Amino acid sequence: MTLRKLGSTGLQIGPLGLGSVNFSWLTDEPKSFEILDAAFERGVNFLDTANNYNAGQTEALIGRWFAQGGGRREKTVLATKVYSRPMEWGSSDPDKRAGMWVGPNQRGLSAKHIREACEASLKRLNTDCIDLYQMHHVDRDTRWEEIWQAMELLVAQGKVLYVGSSNFAGWHIAQANESAARRNFLGLASEQSVYNLMKRTVELEVIPAAQGYGMAFLPYSPLAAGMLGGKPRENEPGRRSFVRQNDAVDAFNALCDGLGQAPADVALAWLASRPGVTAPIVGPRTLAQFEANLAAVEIALSDETLAELDKIFPGPGGPAPEAYAW
């Protein structure tokens, strides 16, 4: 598997990232371990999670997987996130959700929350260091000086190696990196954002900003919450509520039929080939899905196919300002 650098850092990751949002939620622990083991054996070394996935249970599951040894932790580039309150994913019980919310400082990017959230994640993940600690969302109520002071301390203590962002606007990336530069700190190593054929807004400013600052770009939701995964099969009742009637999706499915390729594979192959993309993050529910994801990133789409995809899903028209001005 071809490796690439995480932005301008010296860290090497594979061309695909393994997302864990379904682990301990839609995918039970034994099946989650199967997927994790398959990724480990195939050289998919970038593992992405977050402190609020299933109220922290996903991090804890990963910690138990690391505890099996065999180089699992040492060979994994571990990424998690800070910002949100941990909460019970998939629960309709408001008390169950509210019970995870201890107080008003258990969210955001205050120095207090960053420190406490990092300590809690380290404990759940059964490790002494997070390789990539990502801010899950911009915090408009906290100064960058406070955020970077907290992150610098974690780096100095050896609890965090690199800092990344997620769901940032282009100007947030610029703000964060310029503030870090004034402190002689490395700044953001990566940005993780939603990007797929149906959601191409990041082409305007986010991807150019990441490229301009030498950051990795790690897109998530490559299948647009299942919309680009083809028609749900009989054994996929859970997807039916997500896949709605859409003329563009119908045209996309027809194109894929003509290519003899599964829609999910074409969508992922397109994303992996996009300028500025370092490694798409996939969130498989099953081992079969993960194996299909691995095969999809090796698919080379022709120029003709890429042009057809642009007609079906035109995107914003390129980077700003040319996309809307001259």
Q: Enumerate the active-site residues.
A: 53
In angstroms, the CA 45 to CA 18 distance is: 8
Q: What angle do CA 65, 68, 73 make, to 5 degrees?
A: 65
Question: What's the CA gap between 235 and 317, in Å, rounded?
Answer: 38
Phi, psi of 40 (to 5 degrees): -60, -45
Phi, psi for residue 6 in degrees, rounded to 5: -80, 90
Can you spell out the DSSP letters for 234-266?
Answer: TT-GGGTTT----HHHHHHHHHHHHHTS-HHHH
Distances (CA, A) of 275 to 179, 216, 278, 319: 27, 11, 9, 11
The dihedrals phi and psi of 110, each to the nearest 5 degrees, come to -65, 155
End-to-end CA distance of the chain: 41
Indicate the burial class of 138 (C-beta count within 10 angstroms; 0-12, 13-18, 19 or more): buried
